[in-house]
């Protein structure tokens, strides 16, 4: 007996509906977990690298809609792969030229300092790329012309490879940084508006490359390339005669040029000698200088007494110190009579401790390398800085301004700065810098920096502090933490700021040439790592001293689980402080994330740092015997959706 026909029809419809429902569910799951084609592309890269660490870490789906990628070096946004950063990992292999065809949302790509080979990839499907760094590898062949179609590209770094062929005619207005040095490129550089803004260093190290912006002597390489030989003997003879004539003319011109050049050098040397002699006479006679802004106001060269050498300042008779309170504390003549002690050189000039005769000390900062501004603009900027009042900010007391001098006066912090507290006097008679003291510093700096961020100008493109480092964190007689040098980015000339201020060492400045509040957050995270490790950071190292890239070092140590040496010995022996150290390290690692958008803001940071409690002091026999405990992925990478910084205290 068979089934009725209408029953079979209903069964068939039910099966079709179930199949459609299953297909919809699979598509929904794929959408939630990311793009399968992108996963396949990354698995292809993993197979190419065959790196043990990536083989273990790159499993499952790289992206989903709700969480950051758990794959090392992979950045995701809304379930799509937007960044791949695998630098200095000794990766090898030959990447397929079409490896990135399915990664259509990719905006950042960096394989810097590996050993990858083959042709540079085809980027014709990666229209969102902004930053490409393939430097320090073994890529060969020509620079792909697909790069010319990337209209959002801002930085292209291909230096130190084995590339050959000509330099394409890069003309994208967005492209601000190109470096193809240290390859084997050849031919004339095609000068476009984009290339015209670059310096010779972008193309150096390519012996067969010539033309602007390389030095003019490089263009002689074209002439040095031998002409193709001919089979006509008469032609050869004519060419030889012509060549001899040209050589004679060239020799004559070179002789004349050398003689003229010699006379020019002698003349310039004579002028230099006369100028130096005249300046020395002026300095000896101390000729008074008339200030154009103050009628009949003379300038005296006045010395502050220094233990080592006099501090000469050009001071106008009719100008006084301008204090930010109603009553001045002392007069300019009292300051000039004070004994001076050099404290060091900062980004904007030298600082001195002035010990006043009436008791008390102040810090005098002599400013240099300022951006052009009127007296009124300078005073207005200083009043904005002085209006910033917080217990963890070193207050600006007064200033002095004349044609030749710009001075800032601050309160003197009796116990010096954090740099010397951390790194100075590491001998046996050193007073230990305990965990509780370091935690107090971390909290004080977080409070002061949060205040600066909350009171910054809306939509400002500058970092509220800009130069946060251990030498700019001071300790007064009560061990109160005081942040100094805040707000000075509004005074300093931009080229000098880019060379000397800490925020310009952040990763985002390397690929976007921009800094922001999140660059300050990165600086704070770097400071925390310096506090925890006791090691000298590249951000705090004084001139002539080499520091370490602690951020990269700590991230690598945690990733590879060789964390025995992360914490400074002075605090690692405090067993009961380990949970707090781990928690502060978690915060530091989030603050130093390569991508600014992944970092927490300072309001979140200060809330989490304040949760870490001080611990009771331990006796020497309670020192932690398990100092080599490794920090696992679970303890450092657990994230909380509520705090946005670290996991809870389970």
| Extents of the domains making up the chain | 34-218, 289-411, 418-637
**Residue 67: its pLDDT value, please?**
65
Looking at residue 347, what DSSP letter applies? T
Give the pairing type, strands 406-411 and 177-179: unpaired
Phi and psi at residue 370, to the nearest 5°: -80, 155
**Residue 598: its pLDDT value, please?**
93
Q: Could you tell me which of 325, 319, 302, 312 has the C-alpha nearest to residue 375?
A: 319
Could you tell me which CATH number the domain at 289-411 has?
A: 3.30.200.20
Could you tell me which CATH number the domain at 34-218 has?
A: 3.80.10.10
Dihedral sign of CA atoms 311, 313, 319, 324 in order? negative
3-class SS of residue 627 = coil
CA distances (Å), origin 501, targets 2, 442, 520, 553: 87, 20, 11, 21
CA distances (Å), origin 535, targets 289, 551, 554: 49, 11, 11
**Residue 339: its pLDDT value, please?**
78
Q: Output helix, strand, coil percentages for the chain, rounded to the nearest 5.
A: 40, 15, 45
4-39 burial code (b ≥16 CB/10 A, e <16): eeeeeeeeeeeeeeeeeeeeeeeeeeeeebbbeebb
Phi and psi at residue 639, to the nearest 5°: -120, 150
Longest dimension (CA), the chain: 128
CATH number of this structure's domain 418-637, picked from the four choices 1.10.10.60, 1.10.510.10, 3.30.70.1380, 2.40.30.10: 1.10.510.10
Name residue, tokens 């006679």. Answer: 285
**Residue 183: its pLDDT value, please?**
95
**Residue 49: its pLDDT value, please?**
93
Q: Is 214 in contact with 200 (CB distance < 8 Å)?
A: yes
CA angle 291, 294, 296 (to 5 degrees): 80
Measure the CA–CA gap between 33 and 550, rounded to whole angstroms. Answer: 34
Six-digit token string for 551? 């951020």
Name residue, tokens 């031998």. Answer: 226
User: What are the residue ranges in the chain where pLDDT is below 70?
Assistant: 1-34, 66-68, 215-251, 275-319, 326-328, 427-428, 459-461, 544, 562-564, 618-650
Q: Could you tell me which of 126, 74, 130 has the C-alpha nearest to residue 98?
A: 126
Measure the CA–CA gap between 201 and 136, rounded to whole angstroms. Answer: 16
**Residue 378: its pLDDT value, please?**
87
Q: What is the CA radius of gyration of the chain?
A: 32
**Residue 355: its pLDDT value, please?**
84
580-589 burial code (b ≥16 CB/10 A, e <16): bbbbbbbbbb
The whole-model pTM stands at 0.53
Q: Is 373 in contact with 380 (CB distance < 8 Å)?
A: no
Six-digit token string for 496? 């000098």
**Residue 76: its pLDDT value, please?**
85
């Amino acid at each position: 007996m068979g089934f009725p026909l209408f029953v079979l029809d209903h069964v068939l419809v039910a099966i079709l509906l179930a199949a459609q429902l299953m297909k919809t569910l699979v598509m929904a799951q794929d959408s939630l977990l990311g793009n399968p084609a992108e996963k396949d592309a990354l698995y292809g890269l993993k197979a190419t690298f065959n790196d043990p660490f990536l083989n273990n870490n790159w499993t499952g789906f790289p992206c989903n809609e709700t969480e950051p990628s758990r794959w090392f070096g992979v950045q995701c946004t809304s379930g799509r792969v937007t960044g791949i950063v695998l630098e200095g990992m000794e990766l090898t292999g030959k990447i397929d030229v079409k490896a990135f065809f399915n990664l259509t949302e990719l905006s950042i790509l960096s394989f810097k300092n590996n050993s990858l080979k083959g042709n540079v990839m085809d980027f014709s499907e990666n229209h969102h790329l902004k930053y490409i760094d393939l430097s320090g590898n073994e890529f060969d062949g020509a620079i792909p012309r697909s790069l010319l179609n990337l209209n959002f590209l801002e930085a292209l770094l291909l230096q130190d490879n084995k590339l050959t062929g000509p330099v394409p005619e890069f003309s994208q207005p967005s492209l601000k940084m190109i470096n193809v040095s240290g390859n084997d490129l050849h031919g004339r550089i095609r000068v476009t508006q984009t290339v015209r803004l670059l310096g010779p260093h972008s193309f150096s190290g390519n012996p067969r490359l010539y033309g602007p912006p390389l030095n003019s002597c490089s263009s002689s390489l074209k002439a040095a390339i031998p002409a193709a030989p001919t089979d006509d003997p008469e032609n050869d003879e004519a060419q030889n005669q012509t060549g001899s004539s040209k050589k004679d003319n060239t020799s004559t011109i070179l002789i004349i040029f050398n003689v003229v050049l010699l006379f020019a050098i002698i003349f310039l040397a004579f002028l230099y000698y006369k100028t130096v002699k005249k300046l020395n006479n002026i300095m000896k006679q101390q000729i008074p200088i008339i200030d154009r802004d103050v009628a009949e106001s003379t300038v005296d060269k006045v010395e502050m007494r220094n233990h080592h050498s006099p501090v000469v300042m050009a001071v106008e008779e009719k100008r006084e110190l301008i204090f930010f309170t109603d009553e001045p504390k002392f007069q300019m003549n009292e300051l000039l009579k004070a004994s001076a002690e050099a404290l060091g050189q900062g980004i904007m000039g030298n600082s001195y401790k002035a010990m006043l005769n009436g008791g008390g000390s102040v810090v005098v900062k002599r400013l240099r390398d300022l951006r052009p501004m009127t007296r009124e603009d300078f005073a207005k900027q200083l009043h904005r800085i002085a209006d910033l009042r917080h217990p963890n900010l070193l207050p600006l007391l007064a200033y002095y301004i004349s044609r030749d001098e710009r001075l800032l006066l601050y309160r003197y912090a009796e116990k010096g700065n954090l740099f010397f507290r951390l790194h100075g006097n590491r001998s046996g008679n050193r007073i230990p810098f305990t965990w509780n003291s370091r935690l107090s510093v971390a909290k004080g700096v977080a409070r002061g920096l949060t205040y600066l961020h909350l009171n910054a100008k809306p939509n400002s493109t500058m970092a509220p502090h800009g130069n946060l480092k251990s030498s700019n964190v001071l300790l007064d007689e009560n061990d109160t933490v005081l942040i100094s040098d805040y707000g000075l980015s509004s005074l300093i000339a931009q080229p000098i700021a880019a060379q000397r201020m800490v925020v310009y060492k952040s990763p985002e400045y390397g690929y976007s040439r921009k800094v922001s509040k999140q660059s300050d957050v990165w600086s704070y995270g770097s400071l925390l790592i310096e506090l925890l490790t006791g090691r000298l950071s590249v951000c705090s190292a004084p001139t002539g001293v080499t520091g370490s890239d602690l951020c990269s070092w700590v991230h690598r140590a945690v990733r590879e689980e060789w964390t025995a040496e992360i914490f400074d010995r002075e605090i690692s022996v405090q067993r009961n402080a380990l949970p707090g150290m781990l928690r502060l390290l978690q915060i530091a690692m989030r603050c130093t994330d390569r991508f600014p958008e992944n970092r927490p803001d300072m309001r979140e940071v200060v809330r989490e740092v304040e949760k870490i409690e001080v611990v009771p002091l331990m006796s020497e026999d309670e020192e932690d015997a398990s100092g080599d405990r490794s920090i696992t992925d679970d303890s450092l990478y657990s994230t909380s959706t509520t705090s946005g910084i670290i996991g809870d205290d389970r």
